[in-house]
């Protein structure tokens, strides 16, 4: 029997300004109403489908901030503003930002939204009603299609299509907040019903090996350019792991069995911390498996089974994702008809099953659980429903959570040394190496040393700000940020850090 394990990773970086409680970017809220809830709820239609959902604590913390009215979202506030009262700068901001969603698969499905997009492209003047309709459509289009169809008020507004009122707009925003409130309880419910397993990522999504030492980047790519000053704070890596486990316990009432190391970035150095935390399994990319075993060719026999990391601190299971199959869903199938995509995937599974002659195998699909779907028609629902139906009816494949599979099929093959690397080319080049990424690490070294030199124990908020700064996203986008928003946010977080420890803000952080 082919055992298919889905692991969907839900993640957003930490956007909120700790000093003002404001967020200039709306992606927690908007992905919250588009991806995090419906991806679990759809499983109610398919009781045979079991999945693993990986959550990042800093994301769920931000969702809770919305639920508890502890964040001021600039996009939300500008949507609430009556269209007739918008200033010129606010209008310019709305025109610049309120088309931020897939044009072909989303905007074009709403005739009025598409018309407004065309007016912007042709530099035509917007009326007050145009701005009002744009305010509403940006927020309505981000709401998952299932909610637009099943929530009566949203269905009525969608049918109206244009000439919206201020009341319509506020209904859309109110429904968004209600959807956000359902996310965590729904995860808890499906976990209790044993249809999903919930795994966790280190708290603020850091690249754990690089926190232990930026020099580790050389292990996977000897040509990596390192910062002049080594960042080496392994206890920070440990804190991200332990605080994530504690967060999980408080929200889900038990200890997590699994962990998705941020960006599937692993090395030998982080294993003791993960084992000591009580985690039983982790996931990494297949490239790490073959590098660890010093194999030059891909070996499916080794890929489609769990492996054991037996160390002096204890034991840890590790599964490796099938990169090709994961990427087909994440990056390719959106350009195909749903039936063709599903047939293609099922064909791959059938070939795997034939190759193993029906013996038990574990095929792991590990992928981003949110960003792919806006490139699919109907936010991926048509594809997923057909896909889950075909799997449910299949006589050679069944879905399993990782923990459930490991209980029945303990890992037998041992890996003596785990190669350092991530899901991207088996190395760390996405987070270190180019001049700007290197500069960011050097700035972080200076800040971390400043924290150690504070005479009195630093306050809790200063430590929180430091851990936020260690998140992976700032380094991912450094030197590659299309609109500079992540660079500005990193500088904001770093400036706030110096304020929190009562130190002068370095001149290089000035606008």
pLDDT, tens digit (0-9, with 9 covering 90-100), for 436-456:
999 999 999 999 999 999 877
Q: Are 116 and 151 in contact (CB under 8 A)?
A: no
CB atoms within 10 A of CB 295: 11
397-399 and 258-259 strand pairing: unpaired
Task: Give me the phi and psi of 69, to 5 degrees please.
Answer: 55, 45
What does the pLDDT read at residue 62?
Answer: 98
Q: Are 387 and 40 in contact (CB under 8 A)?
A: no
Q: In sequence order, which ranges of 294-370 are alpha helices (DSSP H)?
A: 300-303, 323-327, 338-355
Domain boundaries, the chain: 201-280+429-511
Burial of 72 (0-12, 13-18, 19+ CB in 10 A): middle
196-200 and 51-55 strand pairing: parallel
* Strand (E) or helix (H) holding 511: none
Beta bridge partners of 366: 7
d(CA 402, CA 11): 20
Instruction: Name every residue whose Cβ is closer than 8 Å to that of residue 74 and which is 6 or more positions away in sequence.
Output: 22, 23, 24, 25, 26
DSSP tally for the chain: helices H, then strands E: 24, 12
d(CA 269, CA 237): 10
d(CA 55, CA 49): 19
Task: Tell me the whole-structure pTM to 2 decimals.
Answer: 0.97
Residue with tokens 């298919």: 4
How is 412-430 classified by DSSP, letter by letter?
-EE-SSPPPB-TTTTS-TT
How is 398-414 classified by DSSP, letter by letter?
EE--HHHHHHHS---EE
Residue with tokens 């199938």: 333
Task: Give me the phi and psi of 54, to 5 degrees please.
Answer: -100, 130
d(CA 32, CA 45): 21
Q: Are 37 and 144 in contact (CB under 8 A)?
A: yes
293-326, pLDDT tens digit by residue? Answer: 999 999 999 999 999 999 999 999 999 999 999 9
What does the pLDDT read at residue 504?
Answer: 95
What does the pLDDT read at residue 511?
Answer: 72
* Strand (E) or helix (H) holding 148: helix 145-150
Q: Which two tokens stand for residue 54?
A: 């990986």
Instruction: Please identify every stretch of the chain with a pLDDT value under 50, giving residue numbers as ranges.
Output: none
Q: Closest by alpha carbon to 61, among 493, 464, 508, 401?
A: 464
Q: Are 242 and 278 in contact (CB under 8 A)?
A: no
């Amino acid at each position: 029997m082919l055992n298919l394990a889905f692991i969907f990773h839900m993640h957003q970086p930490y956007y909120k300004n700790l000093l003002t409680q404001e967020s200039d970017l709306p992606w927690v809220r908007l992905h919250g109403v588009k991806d995090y809830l419906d991806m679990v709820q759809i499983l109610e239609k398919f009781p045979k489908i079991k999945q693993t959902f990986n959550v990042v604590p800093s994301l769920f913390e931000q969702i809770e901030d919305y639920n508890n009215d502890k964040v001021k979202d600039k996009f939300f506030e500008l949507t609430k503003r009556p269209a007739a009262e918008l200033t010129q700068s606010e209008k310019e901001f709305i025109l610049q930002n309120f088309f931020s969603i897939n044009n072909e698969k989303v905007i074009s499905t709403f005739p009025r939204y598409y018309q407004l997009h065309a007016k912007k492209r042709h530099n035509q003047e917007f009326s007050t009603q145009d701005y009002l309709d744009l305010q509403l459509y940006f927020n309505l289009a981000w709401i998952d299609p299932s909610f637009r169809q099943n929530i009566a008020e949203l269905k009525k507004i969608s049918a109206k299509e244009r000439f919206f009122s201020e009341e319509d707009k506020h209904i859309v925003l109110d429904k968004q907040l209600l959807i956000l409130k359902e996310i965590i309880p729904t995860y808890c419910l499906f976990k209790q019903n044993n249809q999903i397993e919930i795994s966790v990522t280190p708290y603020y999504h850091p690249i754990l090996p690089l926190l232990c030492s930026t020099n580790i980047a050389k292990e996977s790519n000897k040509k990596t350019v390192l910062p002049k000053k080594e960042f080496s704070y392994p206890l920070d890596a440990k804190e991200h792991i332990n605080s994530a486990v504690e967060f999980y316990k408080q929200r889900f009432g038990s200890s997590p069995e699994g962990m998705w190391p941020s960006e599937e970035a692993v090395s030998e150095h982080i294993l003791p911390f993960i084992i000591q935390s009580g985690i039983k399994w982790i996931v990494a990319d297949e490239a790490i498996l073959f590098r660890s075993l010093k194999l030059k060719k891909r070996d499916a026999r080794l890929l489609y089974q769990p492996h054991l990391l037996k160390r002096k601190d204890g034991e840890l299971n590790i599964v490796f994702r099938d990169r090709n199959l994961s990427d087909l869903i994440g990056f390719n199938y959106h350009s195909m008809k749903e039936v063709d995509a599903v047939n293609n995937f099922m064909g791959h599974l059938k070939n795997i099953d034939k190759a193993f002659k029906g013996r038990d195998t574990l095929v792991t699909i590990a992928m981003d659980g949110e960003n792919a779907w806006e490139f699919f028609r109907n936010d991926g629902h048509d594809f997923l429903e057909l896909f889950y139906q075909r799997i449910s009816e299949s006589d050679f494949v069944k879905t399993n959570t990782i923990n459930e599979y490991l209980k029945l099929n303990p890992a037998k093959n041992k890996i003596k040394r785990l190669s350092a690397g991530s899901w991207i080319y088996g190395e760390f080049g996405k987070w270190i190496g180019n001049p700007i990424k290197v500069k960011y690490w050097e700035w972080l070294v200076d800040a971390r040393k400043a924290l150690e030199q504070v005479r009195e124990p630093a306050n809790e908020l200063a430590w929180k700000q430091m851990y936020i700064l260690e998140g992976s996203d700032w380094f991912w986008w450094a030197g590659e940020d299309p609109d500079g928003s992540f660079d500005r946010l990193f500088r904001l977080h770093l400036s706030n850090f110096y304020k929190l420890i009562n130190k002068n803000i370095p001149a290089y952080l000035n606008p």
